[in-house]
Amino acid sequence: MEKHYSSRQLTHQELAEIAGVGGGGITARGRLSGELHVEGDVVQLITANKGSRDQVSFTVDLGARTARHLEGQNVTVSGIIHKTSPGAGTITHATVTARPAESHVPGEHLALAGTIVNRQLDLPGSEGPPQGSYLVLARPLAVGASKVKEIFLEGRSFDQGTTVKLYGRLEVRKFGPAAIPQHYFALSGISDLGAGEPRYDGTQFHSAATNAPLRVLVVRRRDLFDAPNVIVVLDPDQGRAFMGTFGGFIFPEANPFHGFTAVADIVEPSDADRAAVAFNKEGNPIDVATGAELAKVGEQLPPRNTADAFTFTWYFDEGKNIVYTFVSGGFAGFAHRMESVIRFDE
C-alpha cells in the first residue's frame, strides 16, 4: 500500500482531517505539525489532544537519538502518512522539515563562528573528553534542552585564539566509564569557510564564495581497503582546488567527509607541462618521463546535438600529485588540448 500512495500528496482538507480525531484509512505523502514524544526507541508525533483519551499521535520512523533532542518541541514532519485509526497513525520515510528556529539536532550540517581554545587533557585513557582544538561559540547553540557553549573540532586543529567561521556536521559523543558516560558535542567534516574551503552539506559540495555546487574528482580510490578515498573538489570561480578524504569503511550513520588536507591553484599549463604528457596510440595520456599511464578521474561531456561544444577530461598523475584538465572538440577541433594544471606538491 505504501508504494501505491507514495507519489500522491495529501490535500489540505485531508491533512486537517487526519491531524485530528478521524480520517482512518487515509494514506499519502504530506507533512504534519505537532509535538515530538520519545519513549524508549519509539518516536511519536502528537498532533491533537495531548494527554487526553482523545490524543492523536503518529509513530514516526525517526531515530530516537536524533528525536530525543527535539522532545517536547513543536516540529513539522514530512513523509508517507498512514492514518490507521481515528486516533493513531504512522509516518514512514520521515524527515523533520521545520523546528524551532534556534533549535538544532545531531546530524545537522551548519556554520558556526567563534574563537579557538586548544586543550591538553591529563586524564588517562578515555576517561575524559578529547584533547585538541575547541570552538568557543560566539553565541550558545541550543541542542534540544542543552545550551552548548563550545564544540570539539574532530580532525582539525587551529592556532590558539584564532577567530574562525567553520562548517560541518554536529555530533554528540560520549566519554568516561561505560556505566556512567558523559556527553560532549563535536563538529565533523569541517570546512574553514574563512579560508574559502567548500562546504559539504551531506549531499554535495558547495563553493564558500558563490554557494555553487562543485565538481568532485576521486583521485585515489580505496573502496576495497580500510581507508577513505582521496578526492579533489574543483572551485573554478576561485581558481582553486581542494584535496581531502571521503568515504572508507565507516558506520552508515557516520559523516563520510573527513575534511581537507591541501589546497592548490588551478593554473594555465606551461610549455614544460604540455611536453610532460603525451597520448599513446590507444588515446590514453602517459607521463613522458616515466611512461606511466595517468588515471582518468572525471569527464564532462557536451550537451547532445551541439556541434561547437567541448568535452573536458581530468587525469591524475599519482607519482607527481598533479591533476591535468584536457579539452577536446569545438569548432577549433581541439584534440586533448591541455587546459589547466593543479599541482598539490607545491
- Ordered by where they begin, the domains of the chain are 2-98 (2.40.50), 103-194 (2.40.50), 196-266 (no CATH), 268-343 (no CATH)
- pTM of the model as a whole: 0.71
pLDDT of the residue at 80: 92
pLDDT of the residue at 346: 56
pLDDT of the residue at 4: 41
pLDDT of the residue at 17: 85
Burial letters 96-127, b for 16+ CB under 10 A, else e: beebeeebbbbbbbeebebbbeeeeeeeeeee
* Class of residue 134 by CB neighbours under 10 A (exposed 0-12, middle 13-18, buried 19+): buried
Q: Look up residue 87 and give its three cell numbers.
A: 486516533
What does the DSSP 8-state code read for residue 194? G
* Residue 235 binned pLDDT confidence (cut-offs 50, 70, 90): very high
Above 80 in pLDDT, residue 179?
no
Helix boundaries (H) for 194-255: none
Mean pLDDT of 289-305: 88
pLDDT of the residue at 306: 65
Q: For residue range 45-75, what is the model confidence (pLDDT) as tens digits?
A: 999 888 878 889 999 998 887 788 888 888 8
Task: Count CB atoms within 10 A of the CB of residue 133.
Answer: 22
Above 50 in pLDDT, residue 2?
no
What is the distance between the alpha carbons of residues 79 and 307, in angstroms, rounded to a whole number?
44
Instruction: Output 132-139 pairs: Cβ under 8 A, ≥24 positions apart.
Output: 132/157, 133/157, 133/158, 135/164, 135/166, 135/187, 137/112, 137/113, 138/113, 138/114
Among residues of the chain, what percentage have pLDDT more than 70? 90
Q: Spell out the residues 6+ positions from residue 278 whose beta carbon is closer than 8 angstroms to its own.
A: 285, 286, 288
* Residue 122 binned pLDDT confidence (cut-offs 50, 70, 90): low
